[in-house]
Amino acid sequence: MYDVSTRKRALVLVAQGRSLHSVSRETGISRSAIRHWLTRLEPLERTPPCFRCQGPPSAPEDAAAYAYLLGLYLGDGYIISKPRQHYLMITCTASWPGLIAAAEDAMRKVLPWPNTTRLQRLGCVDVKSFSKHWTCVFPQHGPGKKHELPIVLEAWQQAVVDAHPWEFVRGLIHSDGCRITNWTTRMVKGERKRYEYPRYLFTNVSDVIRRLYTETLDKLGIEWTHCTRNGNPYDISVARKASVALLDTYVGPTY
């Protein structure tokens, strides 16, 4: 007979991807006993801990992927966390397969083990990753609508954003931004010429998320302006040629 903590220790090792053989050798528990607990689906924790809840909390292994996913999450992400139902969902426009693949890829790089699925809805695809550890990874999760929550990045998250600002901006633009082209014509030496003005727009109702975006743009030396809607600040526009060129190089349009 083994006590609960011994069982738990063995199952945590298995959940970390170790072979039954090596767990058996380390714990002295027979392989058949471990297999028996696994097949009986012991009501013990079988999800391995994540980089935030295992030992002293650490930074994500793939910080660039985290910065991008944080941008996507703040833009179009949602966490469900209730008994028997835990997942992170990023809603992507269905006509942007590149974004759907990038979102899924970033989820797998940040938390490698959970299952991911894609759920097609009208005009969009929900990419989901099932793990209760998404609340460790994005502690901003809480009841209520995201734009009503006080979103403050924790120090370790801010450090990741500071180290990978372009990835963070890319995630935000991919979820809540777009690259549009305005045009106009002008007479030059008797000839009508067409001029195009590409710009990046970022739209989010949350003052806090817009500020996270503009603070990061400031650090990157990108000029931006507020556009108002019904007198309220709403869109952030990047239209200066040099700034648009930087975003074209490091972010690019969503595809």
* Shortest spacing between CB 197 and Zn ion, in angstroms: 46
* Shortest spacing between CB 168 and Zn ion, in angstroms: 22
Residue 50 CA to residue 156 CA, distance in Å, equals 15
Nearer to Zn ion, 50 or 209 (CB): 50
Tell me which of 38, 44, 64, 136 binds Zn ion, using CB under 5 A.
Answer: 136
Q: Tokens representing 225?
A: 């302006």
Q: Which stretch binds Zn ion (CB under 5 A): 89-97, 125-133, 217-225, 236-244?
A: 125-133
User: Contacts with Zn ion in 39-58 (CB under 5 A)?
Assistant: 50, 52-53
Q: Does 133 engage in binding with Zn ion (CB under 5 A)?
A: yes
Q: What are all long-range contacts of 54-57, with beta carbons under 8 Å and residues at least 24 apart?
A: 57/156
Nearer to Zn ion, 37 or 51 (CB): 51
How many residues make contact with Zn ion (CB under 5 A)? Answer: 5
Nearer to Zn ion, 48 or 77 (CB): 48
* Shortest spacing between CB 51 and Zn ion, in angstroms: 8
Q: Which stretch binds Zn ion (CB under 5 A): 26-34, 112-120, 132-140, 141-149?
A: 132-140
Residue 81 CA to residue 142 CA, distance in Å, equals 9
* Shortest spacing between CB 53 and Zn ion, in angstroms: 3
Nearer to Zn ion, 10 or 50 (CB): 50
* Shortest spacing between CB 114 and Zn ion, in angstroms: 11
Task: Provide the mask over 172-191, with x wherever binding to Zn ion is found by CB under 5 A and - wherever it is not.
Answer: --------------------
Q: Does 59 engage in binding with Zn ion (CB under 5 A)?
A: no
* Shortest spacing between CB 13 and Zn ion, in angstroms: 17
* Sign of the four-CA dihedral 158, 92, 105, 44: positive
Interface residues toward Zn ion, by CB under 5 A = 50, 52-53, 133, 136
